[in-house]
Amino acid sequence: MMADFATLRAQLDTLKRAYRSGVRTVEFDGRATTYVSGEEMRAAISSLREEISQIMGTAAPTVAVVRSSKGY
């Protein structure tokens, strides 16, 4: 079952605040989650953004990075 928009938004805001402050344990609705790394937190943030996009009916933003070299 998918959570509602307000719940997901609150979770996202809580997780982003924790990430920015360097805190790795986040508590929401009486449950604590400890993330191993910043990368794991970024993945959780991305997942929450995707869920919110699905609820809102909007496409998630796509970012493409193109790198090139002359090969020498």
pLDDT tens-digit series, residues 7-40: 999 999 999 999 999 999 999 889 999 999 999 9
Q: What is the mean pLDDT of the chain?
A: 87
43 is in which domain, residue-wise?
A: 5-56
How many other CB atoms are found less than 10 A from the CB of residue 13? 12
Whole-angstrom distance, CA of residue 24 vs CA of residue 28:
13
Looking at the 3D structure of the chain, how many domains does it have? 1
Residue 68 lies in a domain: no
Residues 45 and 9: beta-carbon distance below 8 Å:
no
β-strand partners of 25 = 34
Residue 62 has what pLDDT?
67
Residue 33 has what pLDDT?
94
Residue with tokens 């191993």: 36
- Three-state secondary structure call for residue 33: strand
Residue with tokens 């794991």: 40
Pairwise pLDDT comparison (35 vs 58), residue with the higher score: 35
